[in-house]
């Protein structure tokens, strides 16, 4: 009895046209699909290489700007040891940079939004638009974002390189005559590569492109995503350090205590991620609209952060140093518990003021300190696991659930620390439970929750 050939076809066709002896099609494997509407032509691949190079150079330049601003504001060493530099500064030395950030944010973003047209939301442009982005407005937004973060705003540094990577891809795609489908994929690759290169996470960046920005893990997406992330990461090494962002953590040892803890911790972190994403959505929807509110709200928000930072300097910045502290297990558990609540609140306040910045590192930080606090309490009942290992699991679970991208979150946590494979099972269990809980409770992510409102007639449930 003869079998019917597969109804799916590879387009373009492979070099070897004949099938193997069974006569089954290669496309019977679900991820081995044709290119579909997005043809991976030689022109597309050439533009992808240029996109990776541009994203890597832009990422290195933006990080140099960030470090330079931080050192001008808080003194030598602030570019690499931000929290320590903030703690060395006196009261006025902590306050004036954030007040300046409020003035620059209010005035700068008001002028950009009023006088410079163009789209600056990469996610929305890829998901619902034609992937065209405004060059001048995006460039101004990115530079201003890194300046504000360097001055101490509680926002992530990755938003600017992600945006510029997407903008560069958009320019290349338009000038290269790519179709809308090709342009969307190229812009997604550029944006993900911009994020990947500043954190040195090429594999996590590729999964971020596939899981979050494109929404499918199949060869015609994974191949360009991986290539673009890798190219950008290598190029960014001209100005950025090579290796894990959080290094020197040692090799975690799997314990029965950690494995058992990972499941209830995933439940708690899934609920925390849901609350965090909802808060992001609420402040994004209620950003100031009138002229005077847009000018004054960032100054007010950053002044509040400055006042809080006099007592808790860990609230300054994107939270990278606080994450490192939690991962190393150094610090009072009560402080970690307090910061697990305070850090997302001040980040939401900065975002809600109208400032532009990322949420990746603040989210990772929240998971790390929450994991450290929860794990430290658990160790009182079942000792034997270092607090830093609990923090690693908490960070992975929080970022995976908040992005609604468990694979990307898990791999990014491994790449960022350069360790964790020894505790892969507890990591996977916590990420799975947290993401499943947040998906069941809500389903939004820190990216979809920030999308601007659409016309009523165009809204979907």
Is residue 431 over pLDDT 60?
Answer: yes
- Buried b vs exposed e over 279-292: b needs ≥16 C-beta within 10 Å? bbbebbeeebeeee
Q: Do residues 101 and 302 make contact, with C-beta atoms less than 8 angstroms apart? A: yes
Q: Could you report the per-residue pLDDT of 106-119, keeping only the tens digit for each?
A: 898 888 888 898 88
Query: Is the full-model pTM beyond 0.85?
Result: yes
CA pair distance 88, 70, nearest whole angstrom: 13
Q: Could you report the per-residue pLDDT of 260-314, keeping only the tens digit for each?
A: 999 999 999 999 999 999 999 999 998 877 767 778 899 999 999 999 999 999 9
Q: 13-22, 41-50, 336-345: lowest mean pLDDT where? A: 13-22
Query: What pLDDT is recorded for position 58?
Result: 97
Residue percentage of the chain with pLDDT more than 70 = 96
Find, among 214, 241, 457, 265, the residue nearest to 371 by Cα: 265
- φ, ψ of residue 156 to 5 degrees: the values are -80, 155
**pLDDT category of residue 14 using cuts at 50, 70 and 90:** confident
Work out the burial of residue 389: count CB atoms within 10 Å of its CB; fewer than 13 is exposed, 13-18 middle, 19 or more buried: buried
Across residues 361-389, what is the average pLDDT? 95
Is residue 178 over pLDDT 60?
Answer: yes
Q: Could you report the per-residue pLDDT of 234-251, keeping only the tens digit for each?
A: 999 999 999 999 988 888
Q: Which two tokens stand for residue 410?
A: 């898990």
Indicate the domain borders of the chain.
42-236, 256-450
Our CA dihedral for 148, 149, 154, 155, rounded to 10 degrees, sits at 110
Contacts of 361 (CB under 8 A, 6+ apart): 156, 157, 158, 318, 319, 320, 323
**pLDDT category of residue 7 using cuts at 50, 70 and 90:** very low
Query: What pLDDT is recorded for position 5?
Result: 46
CATH code at 42-236? 1.10.3080.10
Query: What pLDDT is recorded for position 457?
Result: 43
Across residues 130-155, what is the average pLDDT? 94
**DSSP three-state, residue 156:** strand
150: Cα within 13 Å, side-chain hemisphere: 25
Query: What pLDDT is recorded for position 456?
Result: 45
Is residue 358 over pLDDT 60?
Answer: yes
33-37, 82-86, 445-449: which is most confident: 445-449
Q: Do residues 120 and 162 make contact, with C-beta atoms less than 8 angstroms apart? A: no
DSSP codes joined into one string, 184-195: HHHHHHHHHHHH
Find, among 298, 288, 365, 360, the residue nearest to 325 by Cα: 365
DSSP codes joined into one string, 32-94: S---TTS---HHHHHHHHHHHHHHHHHHHHHHHHHHHHHHHHH-TTTTT-HHHHHHHS-HHHH
CA pair distance 25, 23, nearest whole angstrom: 6
**Helical pair 256-285 and 360-381, crossing angle rounded to 10 deg:** 140
CATH code at 256-450? 1.10.3080.10
What is the enclosing helix (H) or strand (E) of 413? helix 406-417
Is residue 65 over pLDDT 90?
Answer: yes
Is residue 324 over pLDDT 90?
Answer: yes
Contacts of 372 (CB under 8 A, 6+ apart): 326, 329, 331, 333, 336, 387, 388, 390, 391, 394
Same topology, domains 42-236 and 256-450? Answer is yes
Mean pLDDT, the chain, integer: 92
Is residue 345 over pLDDT 80?
Answer: yes
Q: Do residues 398 and 364 make contact, with C-beta atoms less than 8 angstroms apart? A: yes
CA pair distance 283, 276, nearest whole angstrom: 11
Q: Within a 10 A sphere around the Cβ of 437, how many other Cβ atoms?
A: 21
Is residue 461 over pLDDT 60?
Answer: no
Is residue 51 over pLDDT 50?
Answer: yes
Query: What pLDDT is recorded for position 8?
Result: 56
Is residue 2 over pLDDT 50?
Answer: no
Find, among 293, 275, 36, the residue nearest to 179 by Cα: 36
Query: What pLDDT is recorded for position 207?
Result: 97
Is residue 458 over pLDDT 60?
Answer: no
What ranges make up the beta strands (E) of 68-165?
none
Q: Residue 156: beta bridge partners?
A: 358
Find, among 405, 380, 365, the residue nearest to 272 by Cα: 365
Is residue 459 over pLDDT 60?
Answer: no
Is residue 170 over pLDDT 70?
Answer: yes
Across residues 150-175, what is the average pLDDT? 95
Work out the burial of residue 64: count CB atoms within 10 Å of its CB; fewer than 13 is exposed, 13-18 middle, 19 or more buried: middle
Is residue 252 over pLDDT 50?
Answer: yes
């Amino acid at each position: 009895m003869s079998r019917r050939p597969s109804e799916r076809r590879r387009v373009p066709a492979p070099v070897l046209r004949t099938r193997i002896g069974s006569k089954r099609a290669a496309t019977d494997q679900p991820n081995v699909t044709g290119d579909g509407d997005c043809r991976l032509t030689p022109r597309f691949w050439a533009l992808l290489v240029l996109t990776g190079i541009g994203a890597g150079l832009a990422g290195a330049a933006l990080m140099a700007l960030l470090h330079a601003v931080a050192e001008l504001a808080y003194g030598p060493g602030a570019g690499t040891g931000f929290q320590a530099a903030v703690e060395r500064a006196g009261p006025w030395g902590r306050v004036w940079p954030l007040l300046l950030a409020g003035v620059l944010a209010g005035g700068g973003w008001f002028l950009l939004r009023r006088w410079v047209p163009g789209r600056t939301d990469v996610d929305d442009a890829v998901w619902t638009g034609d992937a065209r982005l405004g060059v001048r407005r995006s460039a101004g937004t990115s530079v201003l974002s890194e300046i504000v973060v360097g001055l101490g705003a509680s926002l992530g540094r990755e938003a600017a390189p992600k945006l510029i990577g997407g903008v560069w891809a958009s320019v290349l795609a338009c000038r290269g005559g790519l179709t809308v489908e090709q342009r969307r994929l190229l812009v997604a690759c550029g944006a993900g590569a911009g994020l990947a290169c500043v954190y040195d996470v090429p594999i996590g960046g590729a999964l971020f492109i596939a899981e979050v920005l494109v929404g499918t893990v199949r060869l015609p997406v994974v191949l360009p995503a991986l290539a673009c992330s890798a190219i950008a990461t290598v190029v960014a090494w001209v100005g950025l350090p090579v290796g894990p962002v959080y290094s020197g953590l040692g090799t975690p040892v799997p314990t029965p205590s950690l494995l058992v803890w990972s499941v209830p911790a995933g439940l708690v972190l899934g609920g925390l991620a849901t609350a965090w994403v909802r808060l992001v959505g609420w402040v994004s929807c209620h950003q100031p609209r009138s002229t005077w509110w847009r000018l004054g709200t960032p100054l007010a928000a950053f002044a509040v952060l400055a006042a809080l930072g006099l007592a808790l300097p860990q609230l300054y910045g994107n939270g990278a140093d606080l994450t490192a502290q939690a991962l190393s297990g150094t610090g009072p558990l009560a402080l970690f518990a307090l910061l697990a609540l305070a850090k997302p609140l001040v980040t939401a306040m900065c975002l809600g003021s109208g400032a532009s910045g990322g949420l990746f590192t603040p989210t990772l930080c929240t998971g790390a300190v929450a994991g450290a606090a929860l794990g430290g309490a658990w160790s009182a009942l079942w000792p034997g696991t270092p607090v830093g290992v609990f923090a690693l699991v908490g960070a992975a679970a929080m970022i995976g659930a908040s992005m609604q991208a468990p694979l990307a979150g898990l791999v990014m946590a491994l790449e960022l620390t350069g360790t964790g494979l020894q505790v892969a099972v507890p990591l996977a269990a916590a990420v799975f439970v947290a993401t499943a809980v947040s998906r069941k409770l809500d389903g939004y992510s820190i990216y979809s929750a920030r999308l601007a409102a659409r016309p009523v007639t165009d809204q979907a449930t």
